[in-house]
């Protein structure tokens, strides 16, 4: 039975071989891990230093704020100038368009006003001529008597009847005078 591999002595030997192999592997892994830790700790330290340098620089930069204030101020000035220029241009264009439209309308109204004025003056002359003609036509039936004094509340028929009877020695009846009076406009002029 001693020759069997399942004996306790063989098992211990196998077991110790296995343990030593495992120990070698573990120590190898530990060595690699330690080297890796040393390498990674060196890389990590450098990365940490770079990160802290960047953070400090940004912190100083942001704390001062001058750059951003200047940047914002500069951008605001440029933006304001651009907007002002654009708005001024648009307003100027609209004002020019409105001014042109107003000038055209003014010219149209002036032309129309001139036409209306000419037409009105022409009609005024025609009306004056017509009124003068009508006045002349209406006077053809007038009888003017000069040298008779006017008095307040006088009756024209009585005055004319008395004048015809006394001065002209013509007897006119009042109804004849009335007929004549309605046909003629009798004007007594002193």
Q: DSSP of 1-25, one letter per residue?
A: -TTSTTSHHHHHHHHHHHHHHHHHH
Q: Both 102 and 169 in a single domain?
A: no
Residues linked to residue 142 through DSSP beta bridges, in sequence order: 185
Task: For the chain, give the percent of residues with pLDDT over 70.
Answer: 63
Q: Both 67 and 118 in a single domain?
A: yes
- Residue 149 domain-assigned (yes or no): no
* Per-residue pLDDT, 126: 96
Q: Both 116 and 51 in a single domain?
A: yes
Q: Both 106 and 60 in a single domain?
A: yes
Can you tell me whether residue 151 is helix, strand or coil? Answer: coil
- Residue 38 domain-assigned (yes or no): no
Q: Is 160 exposed, middle or buried (0-12, 13-18, 19+ CB in 10 A)?
A: buried
Average pLDDT (150-167) is: 79
Q: Both 170 and 110 in a single domain?
A: no
Average pLDDT (18-40) is: 52
Q: Please count the structural domains in the chain.
A: 2
Given a cut of 90, whether residue 92 has pLDDT beyond it is: yes
Q: Both 88 and 166 in a single domain?
A: no
Q: Both 107 and 170 in a single domain?
A: no
* Helix count and strand count (H, E) for the chain: 4, 2
Domain range spanning residue 180? 155-189
Q: Both 126 and 79 in a single domain?
A: yes
Q: Mind giving me the DSSP string for 21-35? A: HHHHHHHHHHHHHHH
CB hemisphere CA count around 140 (13 angstroms): 6
Among the residue ranges 30-39, 96-105, 124-133, the one predicted with the least confidence is: 30-39
- Residue 76 domain-assigned (yes or no): yes
- Residue 160 domain-assigned (yes or no): yes
- Residue 97 domain-assigned (yes or no): yes
Q: Both 119 and 170 in a single domain?
A: no
Given a cut of 90, whether residue 88 has pLDDT beyond it is: yes
pTM for the predicted model, two decimal places: 0.37
Given a cut of 60, whether residue 187 has pLDDT beyond it is: no
Q: Both 129 and 57 in a single domain?
A: yes
Q: Which residue would you say has higher pLDDT here, 109 or 39?
A: 109
Average pLDDT (117-132) is: 95
């Amino acid at each position: 039975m001693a020759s069997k591999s399942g004996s306790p002595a063989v098992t211990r030997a196998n077991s110790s071989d296995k343990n030593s192999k495992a120990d070698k592997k573990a120590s190898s892994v530990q060595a690699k891990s330690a080297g890796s830790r040393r390498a990674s700790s060196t890389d990590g330290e450098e990365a940490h230093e770079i990160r802290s340098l960047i953070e400090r620089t940004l912190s100083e930069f942001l704390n001062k704020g001058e750059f951003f204030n200047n940047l914002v101020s500069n951008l605001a000035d440029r933006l304001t100038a651009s907007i002002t220029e654009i708005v001024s241009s648009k307003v100027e264009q609209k004002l020019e368009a409105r001014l042109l439209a107003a000038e055209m309308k003014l010219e149209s109204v002036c032309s129309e006003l001139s036409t209306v004025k000419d037409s009105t003056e022409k009609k005024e002359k025609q009306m004056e001529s017509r009124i003068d003609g009508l006045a002349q036509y209406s006077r053809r039936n007038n009888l003017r008597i000069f040298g008779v004094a006017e008095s307040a509340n006088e009756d024209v028929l009585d005055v004319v009847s008395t004048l015809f009877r006394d001065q002209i020695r013509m007897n006119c009846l009042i109804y004849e005078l009335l007929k004549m009076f309605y046909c003629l406009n009798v004007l007594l002029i002193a």
